[in-house]
Amino acid sequence: DAGITQSPRHKVTETGTPVTLRCHQTENHRYMYWYRQDPGHGLRLIHYSYGVKDTDKGEVSDGYSVSRSKTEDFLLTLESATSSQTSVYFCASSRDTLPGTEAFFGQGTRLTVV
């Protein structure tokens, strides 16, 4: 597996508090992604980045923001956490978006908002 690490691995937070999840990759991949995984919904894209300081929204971006100040780091922030954001969050990276380029996933962060 590619070197992608997420932190924290588990977090419990209260409704209304801001939360930041971190993703770090050592593959020098240009593209990075944040997905959330919920039962019955599969993996849904929140935001993605196609380079330092270049980001774009995904399918379920409301309530989330991202930042990428270095190639290796991609941060996901829940500005004011809600119970609907309880989920497992996966970071992924890929070298490019050409056909055949696989995505490498981190171990995931289980976030519970109470």
Partner 1 sequence: GQQVMQIPQYQHVQEGEDFTTYCNSSTTLSNIQWYKQRPGGHPVFLIQLVKSGEVKKQKRLTFQFGEAKKNSSLHITATQTTDVGTYFCAVRSGNTPLVFGKGTRLSVIA
Contact residues: partner 1, CB under 8 A: 1, 31, 33, 35, 40-45, 48, 58-59, 90, 92, 94, 97, 99-100, 102-108
Q: Which is nearer to partner 1, 42 or 53 (CB)?
A: 42
Q: Which is nearer to partner 1, 13 or 105 (CB)?
A: 105
CA dihedral 39, 93, 80, 86 (to 10 degrees): 20
Contact present, 89 and 109 (Cβ < 8 Å): yes
Residue type for 19, please?
A: V
| CA–CA gap between residue 22 and residue 74 (Å, rounded) | 6
CB 38 → partner 1: shortest distance, Å? 10
Residue 98 identity: L
Residue 77 CB, shortest distance to partner 1, in Å, is 19
Question: Nearer Cβ to partner 1, position 56 or 79?
Answer: 56
Q: How far is the CB of 13 from partner 1 (least distance, A)?
A: 21
| 90 CB-contact burial (10 Å; exposed 0-12 / middle 13-18 / buried 19+) | buried
Minimum CB distance to partner 1 smaller for 80 or for 97:
97
